[in-house]
Each structure stands twice: as structure tokens, then as C-alpha cells.
Chain A
Amino acid sequence: MPLNDIPDVCIIGAGLAGGIMAYELASKGVRVTVLEAGPRHDPQARFSYMQNRLATGADPWASNLPERDVFTNAGEVEYPLKSARVKAVGGSTLHWGGLSLRLHETDFKMKSLYGLADDWPIGYEQLEPYYGKAEAALGVAGIADNPFASYRSTKFPLPPFPFNYHDRVFKKACDKLGIVMHHIPWARNSMPYQNAPACQAFSTCGSHGICPISAQYTSERHIQLAEKTGNAQVIPNANVLRIHVDKSGRAQSVTYATPDREQHELRAGAFVLAAHAIESTRLLLLSKSSRFPQGLANRSGLVGKNFMEHLYLSVTAKLKERVAPHRIGFNTAESHQFVAAKNKDDTGSVKIEFEITGPTPLDIARRSGNWGADLAREIRESYGRDVRISLEIEQLPDEKNTISLDPKVTDYFGNPAPRITYAIGDYEKATAQKAIEIGESIFGALEGAEITRGGSESMNNIGFGYHHMGTCRMGHDPEKSVVDSDLRSHDVDNLFIVGSGVFVTGGGVQPSLTIATLAIRAAEYLAKEFN
């Protein structure tokens, strides 16, 4: 498509949601232009990225323009946005983990089942076929051995990664407690798939966020596939500043700026906002006009409200027997036993991740006061004795957790920075307490395990999954939601918002498979308008 043509659809953001939308639309003959704020990294350079990361610790995904990515925190809890996203073609999938899980069917009906939060306007039954399509798109390696999962009509496209040899350490304890462990579905090739090779155990995907051979899925794959159709073009370093509407209230064009601060205009037939939950919100709020004084698509006043995350806690232990960590870059076992509870009155979902991990020789050396032969002895004695249970917990939507425009701080282009106002509620604290008890009980059942982090120490070290959700929630009622179940904004008929911003509730598992699922479904719907 020639660069100056007016595309059918302009997609803002080339991350997971934007990449999938681009391919799904382009492959159906829709002409697409993708505007991406960040640069394009050369996939051929991934090997040298990995080597450099190992040799120097340098993060290849760090912002190429930090003044563009400023943000502020105004709430009780500081949210570490800098580490929680990547701005580049591929978006945050450039250093994601790749865990690809379906939400549970109960997650869509929190209000009707538990009297909590709200129901989604669509249910698992409508999404189920699209979940299968999303698993095929991402190349998910798994097996249906999770007895707590909702029903599925398709097989995983790739066989699972087998359990880590040392998962048996946890299994001994879980068997005593009646906790069922099962495999983890990963968007990572257990055999060659979609022109990408099988995993070769470089073991740098999890801890270092790089697969040097692209055996782990990133949305660069879909961007490339979209471009191959001849119907899509991607413009990197194109930071969208505003979405403009015409007199009838339809989105008409965007203004974007390149790093030299030069501004450009792009018109399109429809717009897909795929800038992730925080930047999508900011762009809507920045795009206010006389017609939309509270911000675009914000008649409900809910744009930026109900920001949610998954909280992460860990319980760690030292073992008598030694395990062999760092032989693979990811975990292979988890348990969803406490994900979909019958009753969620007091506490929410808890997912257990079993981690054969611990300090590397370098980590031990950093903490040690020894050197030479004494250091070698210390490393030999302590290496491989630590294991961890990570606990991912659900957070309910709360209107007080918001993304808004900072009144003082501006970014590189002179626009207000996103301001995060965030706190953790009593419900989540109670869930965290329950999660810690679960973790401690597992180590308690493990002979010779000495807990090295638990109780209040775990509680004081709550982390995040880096899953931003809930800022542009979906619903039937335009007064109480921002988009409908096809992700079309209630207020602006040709504006779609994709990504986890539209989630009504977050469930207790990683969001990206659901992001991909919703994007595939929305693309199917949107493509019909152009065909």
C-alpha cells in the first residue's frame, strides 16, 4: 500500500493487540496502517542482544526516548510502570513471559455468581472458539491436564514442555496436601511452528527477557505476517498525540509525532486503539474536544477508572537436597486449584507457580563478602538449594484506582504524563494472606525445607504481574462502560479499543491470551464493515 494512501483502518500501537488486529484485518483484505511510538528492533540482532545482556546486564528493551515515557504516581502504592511495558514494534511481548492462559468461565460472571464487581457483557461460551484461534495464532504449547480449567473444544497446537525434573520436589509436598500440579501453556515453540524454530534451552527468556532464536512468540510475528499480505504498513517511531473527530462525532484522523517532534496527520476509515491500558487511556483523555469535553469516548466518565493488576507474592525456602536451576528459562508446573473458588466472599483467586529457581553464581557472589577459593566454596555450598513458590492473586476493580493526566508533568512532546493513582484493597490483602498460607503449607509439607521468606516478609514484598487492566471496560450500558462486547466504543462509532483495558474483571491468570482472543473476535467483526 503506498505510504500516502488513506488506509481503511489505522491501528495505534504495534504490541500484542495491535499486531494481531493488523494481521487479522490485512489477511481479510482490509488496508491497515499501524502507528507505533517506539522503534523497530531487528529480529536478526536478537542473539547479540542476548550476549550483550548477559555480559553487561544492559536491557535492550529499555525506552529509546525516556522523556517520552514519563509517568507519575499519586496513590498509596507506587506502580513501577517503567519495568511494566515495552514501547517498540512487538510491544510488551518483547520481554513478556509467554504464559498463555484462558480466563475461567466464572471470571466473566463475578456479579451473578459471587455478588462482586460486574459481569462481562460476553461469556466464556462466546469466547471459547476464539480462545482456540488465539492459541493457534500464538503457537501455544500445552496439554489439557488442568482439572480446574474451563472446557475446551480444541487441542493445544503444540505439545507441552515436560515438567522440570525437579518439579518432583514440589510434587511430594503437593501430593500430601491434595494439591494438583499440572503443565503450563506457553506461547513458545516446543517444536518448529510458524517458521520459527523449537526452543533450544538458551534459558534467557524468563530472567533476561530474550529468546535469541525467536522460539518464543512476540507480536513481531503477526506484524511480519500482516506486512506480507501487502495490505499493511507499519510506521515505527510514530507517537500518536491526538485522535480527531469530525462534525458527526466520528473519528477522522490522528496526529502523530516523530522523535524530531515533527507532526504528521493520518486519516483513516476506522481507528483501533491498541496502546495498552495506560497509554490508550491517556490518548482518549488527551483527545478531548468541545464535543467530548471529558475525553474521547468518555461519556461514562469511566475512561481511566478501575485500573487493575495481578499482585504477585512469593514464599521461598532452602532445601536440604539440591535442585538444578537455570537449565531452562521458564517454569513447567503450576496449580489452578485456588483459581476458581466456589465462594469468593472474603478472598479472590490465587494461582500457584512452582519455581525451580534461586540465585545464580553471580547473585551469590554479589551478596557474598568472599573472593577466590572461599567464594567458590560458598557458591558450591549454597547453589541450587533455594526454590520459590510464586502466588498470583486477583484484584477487583475499584474506581479509586485510576489513570489520569498529570496536572504538572509533561512528556517529550509537551503532553501531560499519565498519572497512576493506585492502592491495594482489603480484599486483595486478605487474598494475599491466604496465598502466603498456601505457599507456607506446601513448604511445611516438604521435609527439610526451611522457609526463607514467608509471612509478613512476603506480604511486605508484594509485586506485580505487569498486567494493566480495566481502564476502558466493556459493557452493554454506555453509561457504565466505554466499549461494547465487540470492543467498539459506545460514543465513537468507528473507534475500537483493544487490549486488557477493556477487561471488566481480571481473574487470577495472565491476561494476554484473552487480549489476543478478544482482538481476533473484534477484527472479524470490524473486517465485515470493509468487505
Chain B
Amino acid sequence: MRRRTFLAIAIGGLAVSAASGAKILRLGTRIPQYRKPQLDEDSPTGRLSAVEMSTVMALAEVLIPADTKSERIYNVLRSHVESRTLANNGYLEEYRRAVALLDETAESVTAVGGKFAELPVSQRQRILEDILWEYRAEQTRVRQFEAIFSPAGTLAFRNFVVRDILEAFFRKLPGEAWAIVGYSHYPGVPADPRTYSRPLQITSTSNLSDHAA
């Protein structure tokens, strides 16, 4: 059964038992804590194989919001993932699970059974939409349902892999991240200290032309 159908049936089930609403609500708010995926602190650290790493980078290519994706970006992210799986117990396992999830989903959606990393970006994007559709639902309540009904693997994928890659992009590639909003000067980089008292000079994007004059 595909996840979406499963969720619909499950919500229906909740509606039927609405008489004991208070209890269900409490259950609804408690379950996410029970179900909150945890890193397995006993699992070993180590390195991903080259093939696994290329799948992770194929995922990063879809995830990161940079306009242009230079080799430098991939080098930084590769080194981030490597130090993460080497230093923090649980991450090697989660990254491996992510690779398996992506490849399994790729196989099931492509007629020819291709690997995630071999697919064009547009198809990888569709696969992510399928796996992460709940992630897009913005309301907390929906997120609670997601926490109840999503397979634990999907939640872990989002919490430990997707977030880790996105966070690494924003933290470790600040120049690229701040360029999204047209900043060439951003926290951590020195500048003429009076710049802030003048209008912003947009340097790298024209999407932000509506600044207060």
C-alpha cells in the first residue's frame, strides 16, 4: 500500500472514534515522541563507499537551494558527510539507509529499475517528492499525523539526512547560502563597518529589488 492511501484510511479511523477525542488528541501529541526516530548510538562509525557517497551527492544536488552548483559545493558537502559518519555514531547507518531508500524507490518508479544516482535531476526530484511529501505539509497537526503514520525510515531520512545536508549547506557554505538573498557580506565576513547604515547594494541576485528606500 502506498503511504498516501494508508494515511487516508488511518485518518478515517480516527474520525470514527472521535467520541473519545480528548484521549485521541493526547495520544496524537504523545505518539510523535515515542515515534521520534533516534540515532542508534551503538552503531559503528565509518566511511560510506564511493558508490554510496555518489548517491548522497546526487541527493544533495536536488536538495540544496544554490543557483549554481559548483564542484566546491560538492567537495564541502562530501567532506561534511564524511566527517559526520566518521565522528557521530548512528550517522553511517542513517546515510546507508537513505541510500537504500532512494535506490529502492528509484527502482520501483522506473520501469527499468535504475539507481537513484543515475536518474536525471527531474526524476530524482519526483522521487524526493514521493518520499518527503509529508515534509512539505506545513501544519503542525499534519506533521503529527505524519509522525504517527510515516514509516520510521522516512522520518529518519528527513531528520538525519535531509536536514543534515541542508544545514551543512547553510553553515559551511555561507557565501553560497547568503547569495540566495543577494548578500556578499554576511555574518562571519568583515566589511566596511558603515555599510549597514546605507541602502543595501544587491550584488548577486535581482530578486530582492523591493527594499525599503
Residue numbers in A under 8 Å from B196 (CB-CB): 164-165, 201, 324, 327-328, 332
The residues of A that contact B212 with a CB separation of less than 8 Å are 166, 168-169, 319, 321-323
Q: Contact partner of B193 among A164, A201, A379, CB < 8 A?
A: A201
Chain A 172-204 against B: per-residue CB contact (8 Å), 1 yes, 0 no? 000000000000000000100000001111111
Q: Is B26 part of the contact surface with A, judged by Cβ < 8 Å?
A: no
Q: How many A residues touch the partner, as a band? A: 35 or more
A421 to B83, CA, bound (A): 44
Q: Which of A36-44, A239-247, A361-369 contacts B (4 or more CB under 8 A)?
A: A361-369
Instruction: Establish whether residues B190 and A200, one from each chain, have CB atoms under 8 Å apart when the complex forms.
Output: yes
Let me know if B211 and A324 touch, CB within 8 A. Answer: yes
Do the beta carbons of A327 and B185 come within 8 Å of each other? yes
Contact with B along A139-171 (1 / 0, CB 8 A): 000000000000000000000011111101100
The answer on a CB contact under 8 Å between A54 and B211 is no
List of A residues within 8 angstroms of B210 by Cβ: 321-322
Q: Is the CB of A322 within 8 A of B185?
A: no
Contact of A203 with B171 in the complex, beta carbons under 8 Å: no
B166 on the A face (CB < 8 A): yes
Alpha-carbon distance A370/B174, docked complex (angstroms)? 19
Instruction: List CB contacts (< 8 Å) of A189-224 with chain B.
Output: 190, 198-204, 207-208
Indicate the member of B125, B166, B186, B196 with the most A CB atoms within 10 Å: B196
**Which A residue sits closest to B80, measured CB to CB?**
A55
State whether B190 touches A365 (Cβ < 8 A).
Answer: no
**Is A51's CB within 8 Å of the partner chain B?**
yes
Separation of A384 and B183 alpha carbons in the complex (Å)? 12
Given A201-B185, A201-B195, A384-B181: A369 and B200 interface contact (C-beta under 8 Å): no
From B59, which residue of chain A is reached at the shortest CB distance? A371
Greatest chain B CB density within 10 A among A163, A323, A373 is at A373
Question: Does chain B have a CB within 8 A of A376?
Answer: yes
Residue in chain B with minimal CB distance to A169? B212
Q: Inside 8 A of B193's CB, which chain A residues have their CB?
A: 161, 190, 198-201, 328
B42 contacts the other chain (Cβ, under 8 Å)?
Answer: no
Q: Kindly identify, within residues 113 to 169 of chain B, every residue whose CB is under 8 Å from any CB belonging to chain A.
A: 125, 128, 132, 135-138, 162-163, 166-167
Docked Cα-Cα span, A345 to B193, in Å, equals 43
Contact of A369 with B211 at beta-carbon distance under 8 Å, contacts A165-B199, A203-B186 already known: no
Other-chain residue from A327, A371, A380 in contact with B162 (beta carbon distance below 8 A): A371
Asked if B136 and A370 sit within 8 Å, CB to CB, the answer is yes
Cα distance, A55 to B83, chains bound together (Å): 13
Which residues B52-92 have CB closer than 8 A to chain A?
Answer: 62-67
Taking the complex as formed, is A251 at the interface, i.e. its CB lies under 8 A from any CB of chain B? no
B80 to chain A, nearest CB (A): 9
Q: How far is the CA of A198 from the CA of B190 in the complex (A)?
A: 11
- Tell me which residues across on chain B come within 8 A of A200, comparing CB atoms: 190-191, 193
Which B residues touch A202, using CB under 8 A? 187-190
* Residue B2 CB within 8 A of the other chain: no
- Complex Cα spacing A383 to B170, Å: 14
* A361→B198 contact, CB < 8 A: no
B174-213 interface (Cβ within 8 A of A): 174, 177-178, 180-181, 183, 185-200, 205, 207-208, 210-212
Q: Pick 5 A–B contacts, CB within 8 A, sort by A.
A: A166-B212, A328-B193, A366-B163, A372-B62, A375-B65
Residues of A in contact with B (beta carbons under 8 Å apart): 50-51, 54-57, 161-166, 168-169, 190, 198-204, 207-208, 319, 321-324, 326-329, 332, 360-362, 365-366, 369-373, 375-376, 379-380, 383-384
20 additional A-B residue pairs with CB within 8 Å, beyond A168-B212, A327-B185:
A51-B188, A54-B171, A54-B187, A169-B212, A200-B193, A201-B192, A202-B190, A203-B188, A208-B187, A324-B200, A326-B186, A327-B196, A327-B200, A360-B187, A369-B135, A371-B128, A375-B166, A376-B67, A380-B205, A380-B208
List 7 tightest A-B contacts by C-beta distance, closest first: A376-B65, A327-B196, A362-B170, A324-B200, A321-B212, A328-B196, A200-B190
